Each structure stands twice: as C-alpha cells, then as structure tokens.
Structure 1
Amino acid sequence: MSAEAPAVSRSVVVAWRNAVFAVFAINGFALATWMSRVPAVRDALGASTAEMGWVVFSIAAGSIVGLSSASHVLAWVGSRRTIAAAVVVGCVGLSVVGLGSTLSTHGVFVVVGLALLGCGMGMCDVAMNVEGAAAERELGRTVMPLFHAAFSGGTIAGAALGALAEWADVSTAVHFGAIAVASVAALGVSVRFLHLDAQGFAGAGDDAAHPGWRERLSMWADRRTLLIGLIVLGMAFAEGSANDWLALAMVDGHDVSNSTGAVVYGVFVTAMTVGRVAGVFFLDRYGRVPVLWTTTVLAAGGLLIVIFAPWAGLATAGVVLWGLGASLGFPVGMSAAADDSRTATARVSVVATIGYFAFLVGPPSIGFLGDGVGLLHALLLVFALIIVAGFATPAARERA
C-alpha cells in the first residue's frame, strides 16, 4: 500500500471483510449448483464419460480466459466492477446450461453456458482473492482460509439444494435459473462494500506503487510464484476433481443413486469447510509449511481410500479425509502469493491461473482415463499431483 494511503477505519474494514465473505459464498453456491446436477445433465444429454469430459472441459477453458485477463481488467476498472460483471456473466452462463440441458439434447448450449460460467467465475476468483488478501492485511491476522470456508459453505448450501432438486425432479432450467437470479440479487447487496481501487489496492495514492502490464507479465518468470502455483495446481486438482467427478464416481464406481452421489459431494464440501475454519488456528500456531505437509498426507490417504474402498460407506469416510486435506492448499497459496502487497494482483492472477490449469486439463484427462479404467482408478492421476504439490510446500513459507 502506498505510504500516502489514508487510514481505513475499523468499521469500513469489517464491512469490507463481510462483503468478501458474501462474494466467496455466492461463488461457491453457484458453482455447487452446477456440480451437484452433473449426473442429471449427463443423463439429459445421453453423454458418455469421455463426452462429459469434453463438456466439463468448457468450464475450465472459460476459467482460463477469465483468470488470465483478470489482473489487466482489475487494473482497468477496479475489483468492484470486475466482481459485479463477472458474477453476472457467470449467472447468465448457469441459466444457459439449465435451459440447454432441459430443452435440447445437443450439448452445444451446455458447452457455451459452461464457458460463460467458467469465464465469470475465473475472473471473479482472482478479484475476490485479491480483495481477501488486502482485507487480511488490514485486519492483521489470518483470514483467507475463512474466506474460502465461506466459499465452501456456499457449496454446501448449493449441493444440499441440488440434492433436493434432484430428489424432487426439478428441471435444471428452473433450478439453475432461480439460483442465478438469487445470486445476482445477493451480489447487489454486498458489492458496494468492497474497498479496492482500480489498481487493486485499498486507498492507494501514487501510480508508482502499481506494477505496469510488463511487470505483471514478468511474474510468470518468478520462481517462488511458480512454485506456489504448483502447490495450488495440485490442491486445485484435488478439489476440482471432486467438484467435477465425485458424484459421478460414487454413482458409477460404488453403485449409489444420483441423489446419494449429490449427498456424498456435500460431505466433501462440508469436510473442506471444517478444514478451512480449523486451519486458521493451525496456520497461526504452526505456520504454512507444516500445515500444508499434513493436509497433503490427509488428501492423498483419503483419495486412496475412495479409490480402493470395497463399499460405499468406507469410501465416504475417505471423502472426509480427502476434503480435509484439500481444504487449505488454495487459500494458503493465495495468501502466500499476496505477501507483497504491491505485486499481489499480478501474483495472485498467475498462481490462480496455474491452479485453474487443473480444471482445464483435469476434466478431460480423468474422463478419458475413466473410459478405459473406470472413474475411480482414473483418480490416481489426482493422487500423483497431490504428492507433487507436497514437495513444493516450502515455497509458501512466510516471508520475514
């Protein structure tokens, strides 16, 4: 932050923090709305596992577009407008997915809608993490995992509502359209309390404090940034593979119903939420690196249980460990990327883009592998990336 920046009052910071909580929750709610109905969309389209891999690929491709352009858009119009526009675009995409999967058996509308959803959520992801990191610095304590816990809380609500909609046989058009309207309305209440200026810094005063576009691009050559990105890549794969495939893997691999698959996904996001809330205590007491090592072991062990468990109940216990282990990689990576407030926007954009590469490569790769060896065994690819992320954890160490 600039030396000339005016002090931010406590009440403003608290309102700012609460608004960031709301934005995270809205995004999680909208994303879980789609994730919880993946089996229903698959059935409506009559798609194979490999074909669903390509369908899900579209949300990842849209995310990469949103993520890679986010730091430049933030510098141009500010995070408040970026977040508002991104959420609206994402909700339009969600509505298109619902209409496309209800009124047509052709996947083109679903693909277009998912691309819009991914683009909006990808751009919003960078903006809300930059907002969260700045609010965390103003508060002077660890808060980022709690912001991501709000995201997980939103996914719990979205998954629960998705399971209810599946059980009640509500069409995806009605379900997704209603969620899109509710999300935009909630955003309208909270977005006015966001506090970053057009350059991504609260109350920043001089242009010299803001990196130009060349310096923003140079973050792609920074070793520490890339290693933090590798941590986020592995843990985003651990989280994203559950978002994309857990419900379907439980249905196809452990012979549960569609509604039970949605409930198991809800178990996963609940475990992630618990891990993020509890993680604040452990991060403040033990530091980033020991906590990340521990969560790596939990995620890897839980995933192996899910893959090789002989019955669904034991697999669900593995889902709990998987969720706890995957809970902190992304938020801790965002905090580590934002250690330097001056380059926080650019670094967060780079790290988030690397992390979301998991969403780009993961869905089709798991889909293709799943066609040959089954979805459960295809998740061994996720296990390998979790191990790689574990070895990169020293890069997230707190800076003196």
Structure 2
Amino acid sequence: MNRSLNSRQIQLWRIAIYFIFALPGFAIASWVSRTPNIRDALGATTAQMGWIIFGLAVGAIIGLLVASHLIANRGGRFVMIAGLVVSSVGLIVVGLAGTWLTSGIILFLGLAVFGFGNGICDVAMNVEGTAVERAAQKSLLTGFHATFSLGTLLGAMTGSAAIKAGVSVTVHMMLAVIVIILSILFLYRLVPAGTGQENDDDSNDPPMSARERMAIWKERRTVLIGIIVLGMAFAEGSANDWLPLIMVDGYKVTPAIGSFAFGLFVAAMTIGRAAGGMLLDRFGRVAVLRASALFAIAGLLLVIAGLNYGVAYIGIVLWGLGAAFGFPVGLSAAGDDPRGVAARVGAVSTVGYLAFLVGPPVLGIIGESVGLLRALIFVLIAVTIAGLLSQAARPIAQDNKIKRV
C-alpha cells in the first residue's frame, strides 16, 4: 500500500495530514469555548455538567476501541473522513441541544456521537501520520500533533470572537461544521486510499485476524510503549485540567495569572512539538524521550517546590517541553510495523486517552487530601517510569521480534 507514490504525492499527503490534524482540535475547542453558555441555557449544576460531559468520554473510548478493526477493513482515509463527518453530526446535535432544545439527555448523546467520531478519527490520522513518516523517511508525528494544538488555539479564538459578537451556540456550531466539511472535501483527495487496510490478496503480508489484533495488547513492546505514553499523557492531562488551580491554590496568585501559566504550558508544548521532528531525526527516539522525561521531572520539581511563581513559571516551561514528546513519539514507535499498525496505534492511543480522562480526576481526589502541589508527586513518579522505559521505543528493526508479555 502506498508504495508507488512519487515525491510530490507524498508531499501533498503530508500537507493534507497537517491540516486534518488541526480539524479535531478546532472542533473540540469550538465545543469547549461555549460550555459556559450551554450550562447557563440548561440551568445545569457543575455536577450535572460533569455527567453530561462524560458522554464525550464514553463515545471517545468506544471509538478508540473499534477504530483498528474499521481501519483494517476500510483503510485509514475512509475512517478518518468518516470520523470527521460523524463528529460534525455530533457537533450539530450539541449546538441544537445546548440552546434550542435545551435537553441534557440530547446533549449527552450528541457529545457521545462527537466523541466517537473523534476517537476513530484520532487513531486513523495517527496511522496516516506514521505511514507518511515511513514514506517521507522523516520524523513528522510531533509536528502533526503541533498542528492539533494550533487547531485548538484557533477554535478557542474563534469561540471567544463568537461570544463577543453575540453569535448563538447553534449558529457557531453550524459554522464550525461548515469549515470542517469544506476542509474534508478539499483534503481527502490528497490522501491515498488504503493506509492500514489489510488485504487478503497480499501473500507477503497476510491480514491479521480479529484475535491477532486483540493479542496486540499482550505484546511486550506495545505494553511498554503504552506505559511510556501513559506516564507522559498523565503529565500533559494533569496540566490541562489542573494547572490554573495549582497556581491559584498553591501560589496564591489571581485566576488571570493562573490562566497565563496554563497558556505558557501550552505554548511550550506546541513549540516543543514543532521542533520535535528535527530533534528526533538528529538524536533518535530514545534520547529525545529520555531528555523530555528529564525536562518534565525538573519542571515538576520546580513547581512542587512552591518557592515563588517566578520559579514556577520556569518549571511550567520545562514541564510543557517535557510533556510534548511522549504521546506522538509513542504512537510513532507503535506504527513501526506496517502489519497490524492500526491495532498497535489504536492500543497505544487508547492507553493515552485513558490517562487523559482518568488521571486528572484521580489527581483531584488525591489533591483534596494532600493539596494539588503535593499530588503532583504522583505525576512525577509516572514521568520517571516513562523515562526509565524509553528504550522500548527504539526502532523495531533493532528488535529481533515483538514479544508477548
């Protein structure tokens, strides 16, 4: 598959994947930016909104779990585009439920559909990303993830502008969907069909059975990469959910300064990912992962120390730079073997998103007892373990075979 592409086709494929990575970030930020308006329209409490938003997690996890089977049967392009279309449908339902229908149940279902579309698209676009890396013979996945962050930033800015202009949630979601659909219509032609699809006619690379795809979860290398991604995703997700409150509660700063600290973290992580391809091509995965773990450890120690918010800012930058690489580099490593690439990328993606979804609430529970600054010690431990296991991400050609646990 995709073996006969010329350099121009590979370049166009690469450009298309950059833009496609930005679309889910744009969609998610479009929804998140209007959550206060939707909450007020529903008259929901914080606890009720928590349960409603849980629909997004349910849909995403289901999507992540089934994505590899869909990709094996239909190919990455089909699943990626289908995921964006499904998430667009969910976004429309969210817009209608949030202001016009004002129904928490319909909003829950809309978010579940939205999450499912994002889940299958996430795995598919990472499978495409690893395939582009192999075709271009360059490290590109960190750059792809940087455009996801840029898409999120664009969505947040658009949402802020829509609020200031008095645009209703329904109209805002409709406009966001139009942007996504028009982008799909232009970009899908640049992506070759069949990436990750397993062909019965290929005698040299026979397709995996459903049982073999499930057995991916027992492979020693895949499990270790999953642990690396788990630790680094925990570091990223904890900052996403708690950093403003960590600064406000731990350093007694204003909410505005807490928000600035979070912006600093996101900026550092985006810059790190933008430069990641160059660093990976020069130093290799293992060295970059070890260095990123050390950066994150140093940053977390500076934040946990609680000296003053100036020192904490330095720690936040190091934390952001360190957290930038674990997820994309782990997915790149999971995609080394073209046979079963969708299953391995899907497994590692699922572990990473579980860390995003489950880790921060657990940190909040711990922080309730010992304080959020001390609770970061658990993030520190997770990152340390990830750094110690970095050798597992070395290119598969250096391994004799993939072993099961």
Say whether the 8 Å CA contact 2:290–2:390 is kept in structure 1: yes
Amino acid in structure 2 at the alignment position of 1:96: V
Q: What is aligned with 1:19?
A: 16
State the match for 1:232 in structure 2: 229
Number of positions where the alignment pairs a residue of Structure 1 with one of Structure 2: 394
Where do residues 127-276 of structure 1 align in structure 2 (5 Å cutoff)? 127-165=124-162, 171-197=168-194, 199-200=196-197, 206=202, 209=205, 210-246=207-243, 256-257=254-255, 265-276=262-273
* Residue among 358, 361, 374 paired with 1:361: 358
Aligned 8 A contact 1:53 1:366 in 2:
no
Structure 2 unmatched ranges of 5 or more: 399-405
8 Å contact kept, 1:24–1:147? yes
For residues 77-116 of structure 1, what are the structure 2 equivalents within 5 Å? 77-102=74-99, 107-116=104-113
Q: For residues 81 and 309 of structure 1, what CA distance do their matches in structure 2 show? A: 49
**Higher alpha-carbon deviation: 303-312 or 380-389:** 303-312
Alignment-derived partner of residue 291 in structure 2: 294
The alignment's C-alpha RMSD in Å is: 3.3
Aligned mates of 1:363, 1:350 — CA distance in 2: 20
Q: Deviations over 1:71-107 (max 9, x none)?
A: 1111222222211111122223234334444457764
Instruction: Verify the 8 A CA contact 2:234 2:360 in the aligned structure 1.
Output: no
Matched residue type, 1:269: V
Instruction: Report the CA distance shift for 1:184/1:303 in structure 2 as closer, same or farther (over 3 A).
Output: farther
Q: Report the CA distance between 1:207 and its aligned residue.
A: 5.5
Change over 3 Å in CA distance of 1:159–1:294 after alignment to 2: farther
Per-residue deviation at 1:368? Answer: 4.2
The answer to whether the 8 A contact 2:273-2:324 is kept is: yes
| Secondary structure class of the residue paired with 1:341 | coil
What is the CA–CA distance in structure 1 between the aligned matches of 2:379 and 2:96, rounded to whole Å? 32
Separation in structure 2 between the aligned mates of residue 323 and residue 270 of structure 1, nearest angstrom: 8
After superposition, the Cα gap between the structure-2 partners of 1:369 and 1:169, relative to the gap in structure 1 and judged at 3 Å, is farther
TM-superposed deviation, 1:223? 0.6
Supply the AA of the counterpart residue of 2:81. Answer: A
Structure 1 residues 40 and 374, CA gap change in structure 2 (3 angstroms): farther
State the one-letter code of the partner of 1:33: S
Shift of 1:266: 4.2
List per-residue Cα deviations over 1:107-158 (Å, max 9, x = no partner): 4344333322221111111111111111111111211211112212212222
SS at 2:24 equivalent: helix
Structure 1 length-normalised TM: 0.84
Residue 277 of structure 1 deviates from its aligned partner by 1.8
Aligned match of 1:338 in 331, 335, 338?
Answer: 335
CA 110–79 in structure 1, closer or farther in 2 if over 3 Å, else same: same
1:310-336 deviation line (CA, Å, top 9, x unaligned): 776665554433221111111111111
1:213-234 per-position Cα deviation (integer Å, ceiling 9, x unaligned)? 2221111110100110111112
Compared CA separation, residues 229 and 52, structure 1 to 2 (3 A) = farther
C-alpha distance in 2 between matches for 1:264 and 1:182: 30
Q: Mind listing any 5+ residue stretches in structure 1 that lack a counterpart?
A: none
Residue pair 1:299, 1:321 contacting (<8 A) in 2 also: yes
Q: Distance in 1 between matches of 2:6 and 2:200?
A: 15
* 8 Å Cα contact 1:38-1:248 kept in structure 2: no
- Which residue matches 2:402? none
Seen in structure 2, the aligned counterparts of structure 1 residues 130 and 232 have a Cα distance that, compared at 3 Å, is same
Percent sequence identity over aligned pairs: 47
Contact 1:16 1:193 in 2 (8 A): yes
Could you tell me whether the CA contact under 8 Å between 2:97 and 2:106 is conserved in 1? yes
User: Which stretch of the first structure deviates more once superposed, 104-113 or 330-339?
Assistant: 104-113
State the partner residue of 1:31: 28
Larger CA deviation: 191-200 vs 130-139: 191-200
Whichever of the two has the greater Rg, that structure is 2
Alignment of 1:285 with 2:282, yes or no, is yes
Higher mean C-alpha displacement, 174-183 vs 23-32: 174-183
